[in-house]
């Protein structure tokens, strides 16, 4: 029973962490161009100058 006192906050905290991460990614525009991101990964890096 007492184990629940630790486990439930831990579980909820991890879940909330995932949720915040998603909301942050959404806000920072990472979902704005899904097709573009899929293609960009195939592109070579620019040569260093």
Partner 1 sequence: MSCCAPSAELALDLTSTTSVLPSSQEIRLASRSLGDNLWQTDLSVPTVHCAACIQAIETALGRLDRVEGARVNLSTKRVAIRWRGDSVPPFVAALGRLGFQAHLFEADADKKDKTLAELIRAVAVAGFAAGNIMLLSVSVWSGAEGATRDLFHWVSALIAIPALAFAGGIFFRSAWNALRHGRMNMDVPIAVGVSLAYAMSLYETINHGDHAYFDASVSLLFFLLIGRTLDHVMRERARTAVKGLSQLAARGAMVQRGDGARDYLPVGEIEPGMRLLIAAGERIPVDGKIIQGASDLDCSLASGESTPKNVAPGAAVQAGVLNLTGPLTIEATAAAKDSFLAEMVRLMEAAEGGRARYRRIADRVSALYAPVVHLTALVTFLGWMAATGDWHRAMTIAIAVLIITCPCALGLAVPIVQVVAARRLFENGIMVKDGSAMERLATIDIAVFDKTGTLTLGQPRLVNASSIDPAMLAVAADLAAHSRHPFSKAIAGFATPGGQHKFRAVTEHPGFGIEATDAGNTWRLGRRGWAGWKARTGGEGKHGYGGTVLTKNGMIVASFAFEDALRADAGSVMAQLNDAGVSVEMLSGDTADVCGDVARILGIDRFVPALPPSGKVERIEMLTKAGHKVLMVGDGLNDTPALGAAHVSIAPATAADIGRNAADFVFLRESLSAVPLALDVSRKAGRLMRQNIAIAIIYNAVAVPIAIFGHVTPLIAAVAMSASSLLVIGNGLRLQGFMLAELTRASSATHSGIHPSARSS
Task: Note the residues at the interface with partner 1 (CB under 8 A).
Answer: 1, 4, 8, 11-12, 15-16, 18-19, 22-23, 26, 31-36, 39-40, 42-43
Largest interatomic CA distance in the chain? 62
What is the C-alpha to C-alpha distance for residues 32 and 34, in angstroms, rounded to an integer?
Answer: 6
Answer whether 16's CB lies under 8 Å from 22's CB.
Answer: no
Least distance in Å: CB of 49 to partner 1?
13
Least distance in Å: CB of 45 to partner 1?
11
Least distance in Å: CB of 23 to partner 1?
6
């Amino acid at each position: 029973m007492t184990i629940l006192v630790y486990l439930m906050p831990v579980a909820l905290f991890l879940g909330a962490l995932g949720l915040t991460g998603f909301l942050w990614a959404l806000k920072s525009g990472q979902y704005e161009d899904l097709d573009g991101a899929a293609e960009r990964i195939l592109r070579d890096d620019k040569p260093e100058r």
